[in-house]
Amino acid sequence: MKKHSSWISALMAAVMTLVLAVSWSQPAQASGTLKIGMEANYAPYNWTQTTSANGAVKIDGTSSYANGYDVKIAKIIAKKLGKKVIVEKTQWDGLLPALTSGKIDLIIAGMSPTAERRKAINFTSPYRTTNFVVIVNKQSKYAKAKYLTNFKGAKLTAQQGTLHYDLIKQLPGAKREPASKDFAAMRESLEAGTIDGYVAEDTELTSFQMMDSNITGVNLSKMKGFKVSSSDAEVSIGVKKGNDQLLSQVNKVLAGISTSERNKLMKEAVQQQPQTSTKKENWLVSMLKNYGQMILEGIGMTLLISLVGTIAGFFIGLLVGIVRTIPEPKNKFKKGLLAFCKWLLSVYVEIFRGTPMMVQAAVIYYGIAQFWHINLNRTVAALIIVSINTGAYLAEVIRGGIISTPKGQFEAASALGMTHNQRMWSIILPQAIRNCLPSITNEFIVNIKDTSVLSIISVSELFFVGSTIASQSFQFFQTYLVISVIYLFLTFTITRIFNLIEKHIEGPENYNMMANQVQVGKQEGDK
């Protein structure tokens, strides 16, 4: 009976945890704050740094800071509006949904106000005008291109979801490679030789040249036949549709910033952007010295999400597995109710097993905010997402463990007069869970690795941190090698721990038979 109660208590605790998590929300725009969305990974417009040097602003939910031309502009706007800047580090693909769902107030991320984007959000007057270039190596045959046709055969790419990628179509004969996730990936590809160049703005060229003198750019804007609208060559601030008051306020502030002041701010940003170390020291030592704190935070977030998600998912899966194995009652009402519950749980399992976790994260995090106006903390959202995803997988694992228990045990328990609940809690579940432990361990390992997909909602887990470090240090191979070793260490350690738990649950391999001494006493005639 005590075991039964402990199981129920644990289950209720898990349910209450999720309920509290859902209720843990924050207003979209707190009074006195201005939430700015940016990649913090696009120097000199915006980047991530480990200190508050040069007036950097703390990135929400982390110990890191954001700086750059966009941050400087944001600080001016916030000061004029009497608000405090809060930087929300968000992937490029997540900026628009973050704005439309109320997660952020403004997008200040070097974004061009294209016609397609104007359908979703409003834009302010421009705060920067740019030229478009193809960034290549100086030794490349395309470095001396004078005409659009000179790029024939060139393998070119651009950032996903940007105007830059569409501009490649204006280069006859150029091979348009798949779009890249960010500029760090394109820089790495160019240095590795997998692409011949990528289309970007002249500010990206200036930034890259400071890190690598072997880089040059071919100005497309000056080439005959190259067409781009004046609005597409501008950089503006994104504002949610319907927020006309904020749009007007920001435009008023921008009108008060002169061209000379904007050029000064950009010059400062270029000079202040992260530089590669000139010291001759071991790359690992340098990485740990400069980014050790960020890596530890990433490890902690990864372990937190995977551990809590696995535990909560286990109890969800346990509940679902038990319900789906309840025998059919004779009462028609109970029978119908049980059938409906089983159908509903089957739908839950199929949906969350049949869709990628990345999609689930985007739908839950942004969708809930947009349609139900519940603004979840991104860490809480991550815990909920991993928990319900894990629960869907473990539900089938536990169900399989229950139905694989020999029927003779059900029959023996019934013969002893035990009810279904008594049979389940006292006899079946202990065996089923023990048999399912290897699968539960495997799901934990999968969760450690799959937390990387939560970068779509800007959770600063290990992979997200690694991507940031790679883009700042330009040591792509070394960084991802360290990150992979950390992942391997975490999964190896967790596996060993669960193996010990499994061995402890199974008990000793051999048992000592105990019997009543009177029964086994020596009989007459024994020596």
Render pLDDT for 377-432 as a digit per residue (tens, 0 to 9).
Answer: 889 999 999 999 999 999 999 988 888 888 888 788 888 888 777 888 888 888 88
Q: Which of 226-230, 379-383, 419-423, 464-468 has the lowest mean pLDDT?
A: 419-423
Q: Which of 67-81, 157-171, 326-340 has the lowest mean pLDDT?
A: 326-340
Percent of the chain with pLDDT over 70: 89
pLDDT for position 312: 95
Top pLDDT among 526 and 356 is at 356
Cβ contact 369:22 at 8 Å: no
pLDDT for position 523: 54
Q: What is the CATH number of the domain that holds 18?
A: 1.10.3720.10
Q: Are residues 256 and 295 in the same domain?
A: no
Mean pLDDT calculated for residue range 493-507? 85
Q: Are residues 292 and 440 in the same domain?
A: yes
**Is the residue at 521 inside a domain?**
no
pLDDT at 169 over 60: yes
C-alpha angle with apex 322: 316 to 328, nearest 5 degrees?
140
Q: Are residues 180 and 111 in the same domain?
A: no
**Is the residue at 460 inside a domain?**
yes
pLDDT for position 525: 54
Q: What is the largest CA-CA distance in the chain?
A: 117
pLDDT for position 174: 97
**Is the residue at 255 inside a domain?**
yes
Q: Are residues 241 and 287 in the same domain?
A: no
Top pLDDT among 29 and 175 is at 175
**Is the residue at 519 inside a domain?**
no
Q: Are residues 329 and 414 in the same domain?
A: yes
Top pLDDT among 510 and 27 is at 510
- DSSP run (H or E) holding 16: helix 2-23
Top pLDDT among 217 and 286 is at 217
Q: Are residues 501 and 353 in the same domain?
A: yes
Q: Give residue for tokens 């939910």.
A: 61
Q: What is the pLDDT of residues 101-144, one digit of tens each?
A: 999 999 999 999 988 999 999 999 999 998 999 999 999 999 99
**Is the residue at 226 inside a domain?**
no
Average pLDDT, the chain: 87
Q: Are residues 99 and 184 in the same domain?
A: no
Mean pLDDT calculated for residue range 24-36? 64
Single-letter residue type at 13:
A
Single-letter residue type at 513:
M
pLDDT for position 468: 85
Q: Are residues 41 and 163 in the same domain?
A: no
- 39-48, 65-74, 222-231: which is most confident: 65-74
Using only the alpha carbons of the chain, give its radius of gyration: 29
Provide the pLDDT confidence category of residue 2 given band limits of 50, 70 and 90. Answer: very low
Provide the pLDDT confidence category of residue 20 given band limits of 50, 70 and 90. Answer: very low
Mean pLDDT calculated for residue range 9-36? 56
pLDDT for position 401: 87
Please count the structural domains in the chain.
Answer: 3
Q: Are residues 291 and 256 in the same domain?
A: no
Q: Are residues 369 and 435 in the same domain?
A: yes
Q: Are residues 97 and 163 in the same domain?
A: no
pLDDT for position 389: 95
Gap between the Cα atoms of 95 and 334, Å rounded: 48
**Is the residue at 278 inside a domain?**
no
Closest CA to 467 of 291, 271, 211, 283: 291
pLDDT at 63 over 90: no
Mean pLDDT calculated for residue range 344-357? 94
**Is the residue at 7 inside a domain?**
yes
pLDDT for position 477: 85
Non-local (6+) Cβ contacts of 42 within 8 A are: 68, 109, 110, 182, 183, 204
For residue 6, what are the domain limits? Answer: 2-23+283-506
Gap between the Cα atoms of 442 and 445, Å rounded: 5
Q: Are residues 323 and 464 in the same domain?
A: yes
**Is the residue at 205 inside a domain?**
yes
Q: What is the CATH number of the domain that holds 245?
A: 3.40.190.10
